[in-house]
Structure 1
Amino acid sequence: MNDHTVIQSAPAVSGNSGQQPLPVGALIEGFEIRGIIGLGGFGIVYEAWDPMLERQVALKEYLPGTLAMRLPTGEVQVRDERHRNTFDAGMRSFINEARLLAQFDHAALVKVYRFWEMSGTAYMVMPLYRGITLKQHHEQQEEPLAESTLVPWLVALTEALEVMHQQQCYHRDISPENIIIQENTGLPILLDFGAARRAIGHVSQPFTVILKASYAPIEQYAELPSLSQGPWTDVYALAAVAHFLMTGKTPPSSVGRMVNDSYTPLVEQENLPFSTALKKAVDRALAVQPGERTQCMRQFREALLNQQPDVLDLFSPPTQGDKLQPNLASPVNSRQNKQEYGQYWRCAAGAGLLSVLILISLPWILTGTQVEQPVLIPSETSSAKEPSPETLPNEETTSAMSKASPDVYGAFQAVLNRTHFALEIQPKETVLKIGEDLLRFGIVSPISGYVAVYVRSSDNTLIQLLPNARVPAIRIESGQLLELPPANEPIQAAGPEGLNQFLIVVTEQARDYAHLKLQDHYGFGLIEHSVQNLEGTSPCSSTSCRDQMAAGWFSVEEMD
């Protein structure tokens, strides 16, 4: 029998709590109430017994004491019809939470076995996790938390949140009170998804959340287009938790930091017994401005593990059937971690996404027909399709690629290493048929600027696809979807079959590419000599202007 628990000891129930918990021994859909684990403003968590599977479970009941009460019959009734809409909205949120959690499957996320509505309210059944909250754990420790313990905890949580983000769902209420350290495994479990919401694409949905000032980033205080929420929102909160565990103090409120940033970077606090890499990872994840912050959980995890994303690891996928489940009881080996997490080198969702893009071959066939512009809407499960096993590189392809010029890979990696931000890339198709399918994808950049697109074809040719002789400059505005290629520049795949890699770069200032000595190649720029500094020469190298860069890398397959 697998016993888990939700919180620690059962609290005393006051007679005027207003929530009137179910009595011990009561049966709810066959589950026997054994006791009370916790009381909250919107519900009650019971310890219950599942006689069918002979196991203890946690049963959560929606019962906001200020809005509703339990009748002698057991039915839940709204105290005043004026509150009916509020009560119903809360119950919908409760059911949404259960439905979301039922979809997720990760050791650090609460699992929901089932949920239902009855007696005027709603219920969900979860495992019973025994342990204490991270805040209580911290208060009980006399010595600072060891880095060898902290990093695996954070790795587990980044992985769990990445699972959520792949469904375009953000927690938005991460704090030490909402994380339990399990008694039997010592690993963390993320709780309280009441503030979680699903956001499809860039559609904003109104919501109300009671914020924890020290853990909420600035974008949670206002739904503004320039301060949209995404994976980076949870990154900030998780980094704030790390800051609390490392220093014993929460970082200053993000709102206060916007006026007068009193945050002292961890790297400047030499008395803290943590590595410089860990301090830097947390500092960057706590940047006030969303665009300057670590963009997604994958990037945060890599920084915590002090590893650099490796382009070549994209072509070392696990064997079919392997699961990406690292050992979270100890720090993950850097190389192992790159193999497990670096397959597609992407953020899972939101503006931090580095998607797997389209693999397409050169030379290109340019058509003169007008192309219907694609509508790029993130799917319900992911913003980009995962390559099927059939489209992943086989041994022959991988071997051929390993013989390719290392300068191209090095040049791509150099740009990615120098970038300030990650691009969101949304492909229309992941596999293209030669002579029929068109190259179509969209990008969203955290900065406004100018776009450059490079492609390394299956015959090792390196081409600057954009800008080119027909399209001398492409402008992109921050946070706005840009569909490429332009409507007047349709591009059709021409073969031969094979894998190709794309690099997309956005720079705030228009760059000079003279040093690449581009040669005309069907109107595109063929690079035959220097492949260094593909991002171009910045005008700010000789003047005092700002010229930050965002970049992303991708690949898919072209087939006959």
Structure 2
Amino acid sequence: MSSPDDKTVIAPKSSGPGGPQDADRTLVTQSAALSANAQHALPAGTRLGEFEIVDLIGEGGFGIVYLAYDTQLGRNVALKEYIPAALAARVGTSEVSVRSERHEDTFRAGLKSFINEARLLARFDHHSLVKVYRFWEANGTAYMVMPYYEGITLRDGLRRMSAPPDEAWLTALLTPLIEALAVLHASQCYHRDIAPDNIMLLQGSGRPVLLDFGAARRVIGDMTQALTVILKPGYAPVEQYAEVAAMKQGPWTDVYALGAVVYFAIQGKTPPPSVGRLMSDTYVPLASAAAGRYTDQFLRAIDHALAVRPENRPQSVEALASELGIFIDAPAHAASGATAHAPTAVAGTDSRTGTLRTTQTTRKEAGTAIAQPPSADAAAGNRRKRAGLIAAGVCLVALVATGIWFATRPPPPVTAVKATTPPASVGIAASLQPSSSADSRLAAPDTVAQNATAPIVQPEARAPATVAETPAPLASISAPAASLAGNTLDPFTPGGELERIAKLADPSIHVSVTLRSTTARIGRDPLQFRISSSRSGYAYVFLVDPAGEYTMLFPNGRDHNNKIAAGQTLSLPRPRWPMLAADPPGPNRFLVLVSTAPREFSAGGMKPAADFSIFPEAAQRDAATQRTPQYSPFAGKPRCAAGTTDCPDDFGAATFTIEAVRPAN
């Protein structure tokens, strides 16, 4: 498994541009906080294959994490070395040797588990899962290379908040985590160590990433009976304390831990330890303890997740998402030998300042080791389909302490999202903000905040009469099959043109839409829907708001991956660009178009923008003069490679409406 290039050599520190010294200018490590075991760390300048050690950024009982510089690709990475301090020590400059013969079997079992975990994680591509670029064995131990993330743990983030986060913030946090867990669970792999200190909020975006996949730690703990190292009281469900035939581990194990994370965020403490609850359950349901601060639906879903016995909880993260009212893009398949869909490259924003009308900015994902997140959002992980279903039994490889801890320099001031007045030319009655309140002390996941002094405003309970309490979809909305009659055209209006495009569509391409609700309260409720198509192609979503503003919502500057497979369901908007209903009240008219080839819409006067492309009013008027009974310039035209002799112009379409209404109180 190793190669001559993987041997360790000592190299002089580089001082050239882009080298490790440059990296030092952007990183202050946590060396002062490390334990005495850090004496085993490799010195700066050590070469491990093509990676040069820059500094020590994390250390634990089972491994050491370094900031390293990839000399071939010119990027900073986190490099993890397996070296369990209780079992092994450094010999010479780089070799790792077992301290005693009696520890040999335990050391080897942990080493094997470390490698197996790296191999497993390398197969997954999701922007909220740690990605493994490379792993190998050398010098009597093993190494894995991962993105270098900067940020803070969820635990630290919550401590910095002056009050518990609101429901919208927690929903924005949970959505990518649930989707990431769905990817793991589809391969019968379970995290089993979810806790606030194992979730990182990336600097700049707030996007959550699951950390601490410590397979070696678990195996060593199992062999030495050191269960206290593995289990976190309050977060570990009862089935993790012992292997009992009647209480198997499964997706419901991670469901419990995720519920405990939310409980901690709301109450500032963990729920009572699960083992104690078996004897005398002192748990006070959130539905009563936090009533009035969150919707009853949300609190009851978390209470359900925290049921003591496994069979009494939601049996999957998808079921939990449904109870929470969260739409997710669940993986259609598990990851197989190769990663499934490549993640989307996204241009997101550096801050979200309110409505879609005002968010035409450029996003910067700070602290990633590559242009990826999500991971350049490129590992944006699209919640995408994973290729090939694997039913491989429970992954006992629980977690390698990635400890890819972030720089200790003080993070940017914690600030709040503030809406701004939109320019009249780009208006949309949908607010692009991750929180139902205008202000939040901590930027919601995938969001950067703007105002450090704004108070937290908790959302009011949802009015059941206004929006359906559960996301049970309404009847499918399908494209009309009727063809146009006659040779006359009605006067042009943006909303009317959406309906006309749907009538021009190919009826053999069946596009359907399911809605979370047909109404949404302004400033409170999200505009959410799911789309599917009977044929593979490229999905486009357009919106005409009550003021007549015409915008392409998807694809956009934050989310380019608009491919859709036949039978696949896309949940939109994705968490990177959530929408809340916004002024003015009235109908928000949508068109979903699925084309067999990529399309471009310049003939309709569309003006590309950093985030959401628009159709200015003057351009609409000019384009409208080109309409014929069988043609709409607003439907776009196919874009095929140069030299293509047959460029298909087929598309299916469907329209739907979500009414924006003012809250009752």
For 1:179, the equivalent position in structure 2 comes to: 199
SS in 1 for 2:122: helix
SS in structure 2 of the partner of residue 226 of structure 1: coil
**1:212 maps to what in 2?**
232
Equivalent residues, number: 332
Residue 288 of structure 2 corresponds to 268
Distance across 1 between alignment mates of 2:185 and 2:115? 19
In the alignment, residue 103 of structure 2 is paired with which amino acid?
H
Question: After the TM superposition, which segments of 4 or more aligned residues of structure 1 sit over 6 Å from their partners?
Answer: 205-208, 321-330, 340-343, 347-352
Give 1:222 deviation, angstroms.
Answer: 1.6
Residue of 248, 259, 279 corresponding to 1:228: 248
What code does the residue aligned with 1:170 have?
A: Y
For 1:197 and 1:12, the matched residues in 2 are separated by 24
CA RMSD of aligned residues (A): 4.2
1:79 and 1:270 map into 2 onto residues whose CA distance is 52
Gaps (5+ residues) in structure 1?
199-204, 310-320, 331-339, 353-393, 403-560
Residues 145-174 of structure 1 show CA distances to partners (whole Å, capped at 9, x for unaligned) of 122211111111010011001111001111
Q: Tell me the distance in 2 between the aligned counterparts of 1:141 and 1:88.
A: 43
CA distance in 2, matches of 1:37, 1:90: 22
Name the residue aligned to 1:290.
Answer: 310
What is aligned with 1:252?
Answer: 272
SS at match of 1:27: strand
1:35-74 to 2 correspondence within 5 Å? Answer: 35-74=55-94
Deviation string 1:431-475 (CA, Å, 9 cap, x unpaired) is: xxxxxxxxxxxxxxxxxxxxxxxxxxxxxxxxxxxxxxxxxxxxx
Q: 1:89 aligns with which of 109, 115, 119?
A: 109
CA deviation vs aligned residue, 1:372-398 (integer Å, no higher than 9, x gap): xxxxxxxxxxxxxxxxxxxxxx97696
Inter-partner Cα distance in structure 1 for 2:28 and 2:201:
11
Structure 1 distance, partners of 2:162, 2:118, is 37
Distance in 1, matches of 2:239 and 2:156, equals 28
Contact 1:22–1:33, Cα closer than 8 Å, also in 2: yes
Give the Cα separation in 2 of the matches to 1:249 and 1:138.
Answer: 11
Determine if the alignment matches structure 1 residue 110 to structure 2 residue 130. Answer: yes
> Is contact 2:51–2:68 with CA below 8 Å preserved after alignment?
yes
* Contact 2:34–2:58 (8 Å) recurs in 1: no
Match of 2:43 among 12, 17, 23: 23
Cα distance in 2 for partners of 1:15, 1:251 equals 30
Against the structure 1 CA distance between its residues 62 and 9, is the aligned structure 2 distance closer, same or farther, given a 3 Å change threshold?
A: same
Quote how far apart the aligned CAs of 1:142 are: 1.2
Letter in 2 for 1:281: A
**Percent identity at matched positions?**
48
Distance 1:305 1:165, change over 3 A: same
Secondary structure of the structure 2 residue equivalent to 1:38:
strand
Query: In the superposition, relative to structure 1, how do residues 231 and 208 fare at CA in structure 2: closer, same or farther (>3 Å)?
Result: farther
For residue 12 of structure 1, report the CA deviation from its aligned partner.
Answer: 2.3
Q: Which one of the candidate residues 143, 164, 170 is aligned to 1:150?
A: 170
Partner Cα separation in structure 1 for residue 44 and residue 384 of structure 2: 50
Q: What letter corresponds to residue 92 of structure 1 in structure 2?
A: K
C-alpha displacement at 1:278, in angstroms?
Answer: 1.2
Query: 2: distance between equivalents of 1:308 and 1:36?
Result: 37
Partner of 1:76: 96
* Inter-partner Cα distance in structure 2 for 1:14 and 1:158: 32
Give the aligned partner of residue 473 of structure 1: none
Distance 2:140 2:159 in 1: 40
Q: Which secondary structure does the structure 1 equivalent of 2:209 belong to?
A: strand
- Report the residue type matching 1:80 in the other structure: S
Q: Is the 8 A contact 1:132 1:182 kept in 2?
A: yes
Contact 1:19 1:63 in 2 (8 A): no
Deviation string, structure 1 residues 395-421 (Cα, Å, up to 9, x no partner): 76969x99xxxxxxxxxxxxxxxxxxx
- After TM superposition, give the deviation of residue 351 of structure 1 in Å: 12
Are the equivalent residues in 2 in contact too, given 1:265–1:283 (CA < 8 A)? yes
1:117 aligned counterpart, secondary structure: strand
Q: Choose which of 259, 262, 283 in structure 2 pairs with 1:239.
A: 259
Residue in structure 2 matching 1:301, options 283, 299, 321: 321
1:159-170 equivalence runs, <5 A = 159-170=179-190
1:361 aligns to what? none
1:141 Cα shift? 1.2
1:122 paired residue number: 142
Does the 8 A contact of 2:128 with 2:209 survive in 1? Answer: yes
- CA 1:115 to 1:65, structure 2 compared with 1: closer, same or farther past 3 Å? same
- Give the match for residue 31 of structure 2: 11
Indicate how the Cα distance of structure 1 residues 301 and 322 shifts in structure 2: closer, same or farther if over 3 A, else same.
Answer: farther
The alpha-carbon distance between structure 1 residues 325 and 58, as it changes in their structure 2 partners (threshold 3 A), is closer
Q: Distance in 1 between matches of 2:237 and 2:215?
A: 14
| Secondary structure, aligned partner of 1:61 | strand
State the AA in 2 paired with 1:169: C
Q: How does 1:107-506 map to 2 (within 5 A)?
A: 107-195=127-215, 209=227, 210-270=230-290, 273-305=293-325
Q: Tell me the CA shift for residue 9 of structure 1.
A: 3.9
Structure 1 contact 21–44 (Cα < 8 Å) conserved: yes
Cα deviation for residue 74 of structure 1 reads 1.5
C-alpha distance in structure 2 between counterparts of 1:174 and 1:14, whole Å: 23
Q: 1:13-43: CA deviations, max 9, x gaps?
A: 7784275100011111121111111110000
CA distance in 1, matches of 2:174, 2:316: 13
Structure 1 pair 106/395, CA: closer, same or farther in 2 (3 Å)?
Answer: farther
Alignment-derived partner of residue 546 in structure 2: none
Q: Following TM superposition, by how much is the alpha carbon of 1:115 offset from its aligned partner in structure 2, in angstroms?
A: 0.2
Q: CA deviation at 1:81?
A: 1.0
Task: Report 1 or 2 for greater relative contact order, CA contacts < 8 Å, sequence distance ≥ 6.
Answer: 2
Distance of aligned partners of 1:221 and 1:272 in 2 relative to their CA distance in 1, 3 Å threshold: farther
SS for the counterpart of 1:137 is helix
CA contact (8 A) 2:298 2:323 kept: yes
Alpha-carbon separation, structure 2, partners of 1:252 and 1:65: 32
The amino acid of 1:52's aligned partner reads Q
What is the distance in 2 between the residues matched to 1:253 and 1:269?
Answer: 18
